[in-house]
Amino acid sequence: MIALLVVACEVAFWVLLAAGLALRYVARKPRLGAAVLLCEPLLEVVLLVVTAIDLKNGAEPDWKHGLAAVYIGFTVGLGHHTIKKVDAWVAHRWFGGPPPVKPPKYGTARAIHEWRTAARWILAAAVALALLQAAVWYVGPDGAISTLQSWQQKMLLVIGINVIIAGGYTVFPKRAPHDAVADRERADRF
Q: Rounded CA gap, 24 and 91, in Å?
A: 10
Q: What is the pLDDT of residue 58?
A: 86
What phi and psi, each to the nearest 5 degrees, are found at residue 61? -60, 130
For residue 19, tell me if it sits in a domain. Answer: yes
For residue 137, tell me if it sits in a domain. Answer: yes
Q: What is the pLDDT of residue 132?
A: 96
Please check the confidence at residue 188 and state whether its pLDDT lies above 80.
Answer: no
For residue 69, tell me if it sits in a domain. Answer: yes
For residue 55, tell me if it sits in a domain. Answer: yes
For residue 185, tell me if it sits in a domain. Answer: no
For residue 139, tell me if it sits in a domain. Answer: yes
Cβ partners under 8 Å of residue 78, min gap 6: 120, 121, 124
For residue 181, tell me if it sits in a domain. Answer: no
**Residue 143: pLDDT band with limits 50, 70, 90:** confident
Q: What is the pLDDT of residue 111?
A: 96
Q: Are 10 and 74 in contact (CB under 8 A)?
A: no
Q: How many domains does the chain have?
A: 1
Q: How many residues does the chain have?
A: 190
Q: Across all residues in the chain, what is the average pLDDT?
A: 92
Structural domain boundaries enclosing 122:
1-176
Q: Rounded CA gap, 129 and 119, in Å?
A: 15
pLDDT tens figures, 9-54: 999 999 999 999 999 999 999 999 999 999 999 999 999 999 999 9
Q: What is the largest CA-CA distance in the chain?
A: 65
For residue 183, tell me if it sits in a domain. Answer: no
